[in-house]
Structure 1
């Protein structure tokens, strides 16, 4: 297959020069981002520096839902190597780095070293307070941060918004801790005291809070490993991996970071085009066993549900199961301040209305949530929405006006495949049904499924001939009755990618488009 987009350099997700171009909503949600053509790929060279003197910033820092006035402070830092895209002020001087040209290769052969940013990787000490850990997430625009027991701790856990949610529920006495011995924290005798301190509003160490829920330890990959390896692991439901060099962690690669990289550089990878132009119905990705909450239920109920079921977001629906919105575990930051705690006991729909302007896709002054797709949405459009909303999943809805269940037209979404170009015709040239176009204009419909980053990465892995199970990591977490088994969970997952491939997914509830 020939490259349809020759001469286009690889993009960095944080390149300032790319942010200066205002793109329409339709274009942004229809096609891979345009690449600059002023650099000849033959002169584009790999940064071949040695081990960095400073740690690189967490890849998850590129994909946080938090937005504040300091959000743009780090945009001038551009990653080295493949993902480097020089700013307009430095294109002439930075077109070449290192001593040899980077060959034209497909995405799966790219080494992980090229997704590591050579600036700094933020860690926090296990002894710092939860409040300090939360401040670190906000200040650095992160969704997670590694927690070290000691310098260069290769087996560290992470602090993220799931932990913040657990801490909030603990403070409110909503967290059910049946047996403190199941909490993998030492010394054990301190656990009841720490629980009491948290409920009195006193500071507790982050090391205690990250052990309230079952976690997988980092799966560690070398900088010399390729995307072919990591897509299989992340496609199994593992949310992030550590990238190492010389027994040091040099970067964190998350599912969102990888998806964003592939989307930003999609025009460089023609092999992805058949997938991107196919509808999610045709590809048969996603799940139908969706967990949702009614809009008139309390927000605190949503937070408890996410904690107990170990999920990171919920669909909010009305009593007829029409999609109203989305609540994510990251939204706990909106109620972490005592002045906003009253929202916990307001309805989910009220909460969504309050935070509407701080979530969703931003384009200029416009901001609105687009957390849904239909079976007719192309994979390209689906990925674009995931990147734009910085979400882990999108809800699949049955469009208003669509045929009733059992209709042949609705059972075969591949007959109306939406091209990535975003035109209003199918791949065969047939105009798309009016209810599809109405749906894509933003009006939700009845909730019928969910598609996640895991589903998409699993699809990419399977196209490489790998057997992946999107539910592997979740099943391992649910099998564990306590955080004390976190190490064994990580080991079980690692074994599945070390000469013991997992069987193909046997989920009994695949998404059926009816």
Structure 2
């Protein structure tokens, strides 16, 4: 949930395409491209002369080039003869160079973006609510309908407009891990997690109130609608993902996310020269992003990726092969594919297999296969990077050491699955062995990617994948390693932090927010940060 290229896939005999579960499958916007025609093969032995039955005293091998000569002048690689289709080329041009015929918006022309009110970016009726006594099943249905914000605000009762908490895909992931016994709770929370598993196994409704202790706790930042964007970007530049916008009565009237603000700067940058001039600079010169990346091996079980995102407070994780080449991306939004009880065996299947399932399902929805691209390289312009983030509705782009030499993407097999969507309470946890309080700690296939130039003495070991699915290793997929070696990551936080600093503002330190997310799994306190109306300063109010 970041532009894409395609390979048509033809289902093998006996396979059935995944049926739409009835909810929006993903919040990512994919850009597809038609498959370019394969290059015509040319003879690699241009000097060869066919043998003739006519009389001749000349030996046939004298008319052929020797094997050694052919090796000195090998034929050109077919990869160099590939050309993007018109659609793919148009997408690439759009991302590399914003449309030249952009017109200034009368609403913002002549204005400083720092003087634009937060309320001007809101959309009507975008806030989705859930009550503390609402079941996790009903809250999940509401979450799936909350696009593009991908969050549900939790309140005390239906008459209130004050948010006490939130419910998003990261919380859904935490619940799923608890239900199937893959979470690793603190000692004082073992009984709580076991109780959740038992209730889910017995198909008993579980209210959000009972699940608050297991959800990731991130402070609720509130800001008045009349506040200006400079206040918001200082908060976003510090790593906060969303801000609750309130009216004069302190009632929540909207949600402003990092992605919404970045979309605003992408669409309206022509009105703000201070921002627009940054788009032509390459990432290497901007020196943004980080080289400290945690990825997951493509052959690792999907459960490892889900546990990694939950324990590290991440919304997405890169999937790499044994050479650290990016082969895919898994986000917390993808957890919605696991709310069907029949899909639980996917937890034991490989991450690469799960990616192929997602792509196949998108292909059924869109009538064609699409392969979202979640990576850039150090020589990509900021415009190219922002365009991908906006197009894919993603929180981050993985930085690879080189660009993909071909827009081709591996074919994605289809998988048989149920068309119904049973309630989440039907998810049954695995049996726990006597004398053990939980399942083995996931994460054995986690890959800590070394910085560029580091010498890797060994390759990550890929654990065996158990389950009913025949998982295809990432290395066996055609084109799986064409992205390039993973060397860094650029997030929405990094870009908004850049915009803030280039405008003379002082955003918060993103590292503090990241550390807070990692600690939040063991805390039941969700602080609320209210940014004042007069001076823009706030105070932290810790609430249960």
Same fold (TM over 0.5): yes
Alpha-carbon deviation of 1:119?
3.6
Which residue of 2 is the match for residue 211 of structure 1?
Answer: 213
RMSD of aligned residue pairs (Cα, Å): 3.4
1:89-104 equivalences in 2 (<5 Å): 104=110
**5+ unaligned residues in a row in structure 1: which ranges?**
1-21, 45-81, 83-101, 183-188, 407-441, 501-514
Alpha-carbon deviation of 1:176?
2.1
- Assess, with a 3 A threshold, how the Cα gap between structure 1 residues 199 and 108 changes in structure 2: closer, same or farther: farther
- For residues 238 and 393 of structure 1, the distance between their equivalents in structure 2, rounded to whole angstroms, comes to 14
Which residue of 2 is the match for residue 509 of structure 1?
Answer: none
Q: Report the secondary structure of 1:124's partner residue.
A: strand
Which residue of 2 is the match for residue 165 of structure 1?
Answer: 173
- For residues 530 and 197 of structure 2, the distance between their equivalents in structure 1, rounded to whole angstroms, comes to 31
Checking the alignment, whether the CA contact within 8 Å between 2:182 and 2:303 is kept in structure 1 is: no
Q: Report the secondary structure of 1:285's partner residue.
A: coil
- For residues 492 and 477 of structure 1, the distance between their equivalents in structure 2, rounded to whole angstroms, comes to 19
Checking the alignment, whether the CA contact within 8 Å between 1:358 and 1:367 is kept in structure 2 is: no
Alpha-carbon deviation of 1:31?
3.3
Which residue of 1 is the match for residue 299 of structure 2?
Answer: 296
Alpha-carbon deviation of 1:400?
6.7
Which residue of 1 is the match for residue 234 of structure 2?
Answer: 232
- Assess, with a 3 A threshold, how the Cα gap between structure 1 residues 287 and 256 changes in structure 2: closer, same or farther: same
- Assess, with a 3 A threshold, how the Cα gap between structure 1 residues 156 and 499 changes in structure 2: closer, same or farther: closer
- For residues 165 and 128 of structure 2, the distance between their equivalents in structure 1, rounded to whole angstroms, comes to 13
1:378-393 equivalences in 2 (<5 Å): 378-393=381-396
Alpha-carbon deviation of 1:134?
1.1
1:489-500 equivalences in 2 (<5 Å): 490-491=528-529, 498=537
Which residue of 2 is the match for residue 452 of structure 1?
Answer: 491
1:72-83 equivalences in 2 (<5 Å): none
Q: Report the secondary structure of 1:118's partner residue.
A: coil
Which residue of 2 is the match for residue 25 of structure 1?
Answer: 91
Alpha-carbon deviation of 1:197?
0.7
Return the match for 2:256 from 228, 253, 257. Answer: 253
Return the match for 2:517 from 473, 477, 480. Answer: 477
Alpha-carbon deviation of 1:141?
2.9
* Larger radius of gyration between Structure 1 and Structure 2: 2
Which residue of 1 is the match for residue 502 of structure 2?
Answer: 463
Higher helix share: 1
1:70-149 equivalences in 2 (<5 Å): 104-119=110-125, 121-142=127-148, 143-149=150-156
Which residue of 2 is the match for residue 314 of structure 1?
Answer: 317
1:12-51 equivalences in 2 (<5 Å): 24-32=90-98
Checking the alignment, whether the CA contact within 8 Å between 1:359 and 1:368 is kept in structure 2 is: no
Alpha-carbon deviation of 1:108?
2.1
Q: Report the secondary structure of 1:145's partner residue.
A: strand
- For residues 185 and 160 of structure 2, the distance between their equivalents in structure 1, rounded to whole angstroms, comes to 32
- For residues 530 and 296 of structure 2, the distance between their equivalents in structure 1, rounded to whole angstroms, comes to 33
Q: Report the secondary structure of 1:174's partner residue.
A: coil
Which residue of 2 is the match for residue 61 of structure 1?
Answer: none
Q: Does 1:263 align with 2:266?
A: yes
Checking the alignment, whether the CA contact within 8 Å between 1:146 and 1:159 is kept in structure 2 is: yes
- Assess, with a 3 A threshold, how the Cα gap between structure 1 residues 493 and 225 changes in structure 2: closer, same or farther: closer
Alpha-carbon deviation of 1:305?
1.3
Q: Report the secondary structure of 2:133's partner residue.
A: coil
- For residues 280 and 233 of structure 1, the distance between their equivalents in structure 2, rounded to whole angstroms, comes to 23
User: C-alpha deviations, 1:221-244, integer Å up to 9, x for none?
Assistant: 111111111011011110100111
- For residues 180 and 26 of structure 1, the distance between their equivalents in structure 2, rounded to whole angstroms, comes to 52
TM-score by length of 1: 0.66
- Assess, with a 3 A threshold, how the Cα gap between structure 1 residues 299 and 194 changes in structure 2: closer, same or farther: closer
Q: Report the secondary structure of 2:373's partner residue.
A: coil
Alpha-carbon deviation of 1:385?
0.3
Alpha-carbon deviation of 1:289?
0.8
Alpha-carbon deviation of 1:380?
0.8
Q: Does 1:345 align with 2:384?
A: no
User: C-alpha deviations, 1:422-443, integer Å up to 9, x for none?
Assistant: xxxxxxxxxxxxxxxxxxxx94
Checking the alignment, whether the CA contact within 8 Å between 1:343 and 1:351 is kept in structure 2 is: yes
Return the match for 1:326 from 329, 342, 360. Answer: 329
Alpha-carbon deviation of 1:328?
0.8
Alpha-carbon deviation of 1:349?
0.9
**5+ unaligned residues in a row in structure 2: which ranges?**
1-86, 406-450, 454-480, 540-544
Alpha-carbon deviation of 1:214?
3.3
Alpha-carbon deviation of 1:262?
1.3
Which residue of 2 is the match for residue 486 of structure 1?
Answer: 526
- For residues 306 and 219 of structure 2, the distance between their equivalents in structure 1, rounded to whole angstroms, comes to 24
Which residue of 1 is the match for residue 30 of structure 2?
Answer: none
Alpha-carbon deviation of 1:121?
2.4
TM-score by length of 2: 0.63
Checking the alignment, whether the CA contact within 8 Å between 1:147 and 1:156 is kept in structure 2 is: yes
Deviates more, 1:235-244 or 1:107-116: 107-116
Q: Report the secondary structure of 2:123's partner residue.
A: coil
- For residues 109 and 454 of structure 1, the distance between their equivalents in structure 2, rounded to whole angstroms, comes to 21
